[in-house]
A and B are shown apart, each in its own frame.
Chain A
Amino acid sequence: MSGLIRAEGLGKTFGGTTGWLSGKSDSVRAVDGVSLEVARGETLALVGESGCGKSTLGRLLLRLIDPTEGSVWFEGRDIASLGASEMRRMRQRLQIIFQDPFGSLSPRRTINQIISEPLEVFNVVKGRKARRERVAELLTKVGLPPGYMDRLPRQFSGGQRQRIGIARAIALNPAFIVADEPVSALDVSIQAQIINLMQDLQRDAGFSYLFISHDLAVVRHIADRVAVMYLGRIVEIGSKRQIYSVPQHPYTQALLSAAPEPEVDTVSSRIILEGDVPNPSALPTGCTFHTRCPIAQEVCRVKRPSLDEVAPNQFAACHFAKPNPIPIG
Chain B
Amino acid sequence: MSALLSLRSVSVNFGRGEKALRVVDGVSFDIDVGGTLGLVGESGSGKSVTSLAVLRLIPERLGWSTRGRIEFEGQNLLDLPADKMPEIRGRDIAMIFQEPMSSLNPVMTIGSQISEALFLHGWPNRAKRHARVVEMLRLVGIPDPEGRLGAYPHQFSGGMRQRVMIAMALACSPKLLIADEATTALDVTIQAQVLELMKKIRSDTGTAILMISHDLGVIADICDRVVVMYSGRVVEVADIRSLLQRPAHPYTRGLLESVPRKGQERERLYQVPGSVPMAGSVRQGCPFRARCSVAVDKCAVKMPPMFRFAEDQRAACWVSAEQSNAPVIEDLK
Interface residues in chain A, defined as those with a beta carbon under 8 Å from any beta carbon in chain B: 49-50, 157, 159-160, 187-193, 195-196, 199, 214-218, 220-221, 244, 254-255, 257-264, 267, 270, 272-274, 276-277, 292, 329
Contacts and interface: CB of A to CB of B under 8 A. Distances in A.
B192 A270 contact: yes
A50 B187 contact: yes
B259 A262 contact: yes
Contacts of A292: 189
Contact of B258 (A49, A191, A272, A276): A191
Interface string B211-241: 0001111111100000000000000000011
A239 to B, nearest CB: 13
A183 to B, nearest CB: 11
Interface in B263-321: 266, 268-273, 275-276, 291
Interface residues of B, number: 44
Nearest to B272: A189
15 contacts: A50-B187, A157-B276, A189-B42, A189-B254, A189-B272, A193-B272, A196-B271, A214-B188, A217-B260, A258-B191, A262-B256, A262-B259, A262-B261, A270-B196, A274-B193
A146 B166 CA distance: 49
Contacts of A329: 262
B214 A188 contact: yes
B189 A262 contact: no
Nearest to B230: A189
Contacts of B266: 221
Contacts of B215: 188, 260
B255 interface: yes
Given A221-B269, A262-B261, A272-B192, A214 B244 contact: no
Nearest to A217: B260
A270 B255 CA distance: 24
A157 B256 CA distance: 22
B3 interface: no
B129 to A, nearest CB: 28
Nearest to B45: A187
A260 B276 contact: no
Given A159-B275, A257-B192, 10 more contacts: A187-B43, A188-B216, A189-B276, A190-B275, A193-B271, A193-B272, A220-B260, A261-B217, A262-B259, A264-B240
Contacts, number: 119
B275 A157 contact: yes
List the 10 shortest-distance A-B pairs measured between CB atoms, nearest first. Answer: A260-B217, A221-B260, A192-B258, A262-B216, A258-B192, A187-B42, A49-B187, A189-B272, A260-B221, A192-B269
Nearest to B44: A187
B159 interface: yes
B260 A264 contact: no
B271 A189 contact: yes
Contact of B268 (A199, A257, A262): A199
Given A217-B261, A262-B244, A272-B193, A255 B188 contact: yes
B160 to A, nearest CB: 7
Given A188-B259, A196-B268, A276-B160, A264 B220 contact: yes
Contacts of A220: 260, 262
A221 B42 CA distance: 21
A49 B291 CA distance: 34
* Most B C-beta atoms less than 10 A away, residue of A195, A220, A221, A292: A221
B266 to A, nearest CB: 8
Nearest to B143: A275
B190 interface: yes
Nearest to B185: A50
B202 to A, nearest CB: 14
A211 to B, nearest CB: 13
Contacts of B259: 188, 217, 261-262
Contacts of B270: 192
B195 interface: yes
Contacts of A258: 188-189, 191-192
Contacts of A255: 188-189
Contacts of B219: 262
A164 to B, nearest CB: 14
B188 A160 contact: no
B157 interface: yes
B73 to A, nearest CB: 31
Given A192-B258, A192-B272, A267 B221 contact: yes
Contacts of B220: 260-264
A179 B197 CA distance: 34
Contacts of A192: 258, 269-272
Nearest to B191: A258
Contacts of B42: 187-189
Interface string B11-36: 00000000000000000000000000
Contact of B157 (A159, A196, A254, A276): A276
A272 B196 contact: yes
Contact of B244 (A191, A216, A264): A264
B245 interface: yes
Interface string B154-198: 000101100000000000000000000000000111111101100
B214 A187 contact: yes
B77 to A, nearest CB: 30
B105 to A, nearest CB: 22
A202 B193 CA distance: 37
A157 B273 CA distance: 13
Contact of B255 (A160, A188, A221): A188
A269 B188 CA distance: 16
B214 A259 contact: no
A263 B218 CA distance: 10
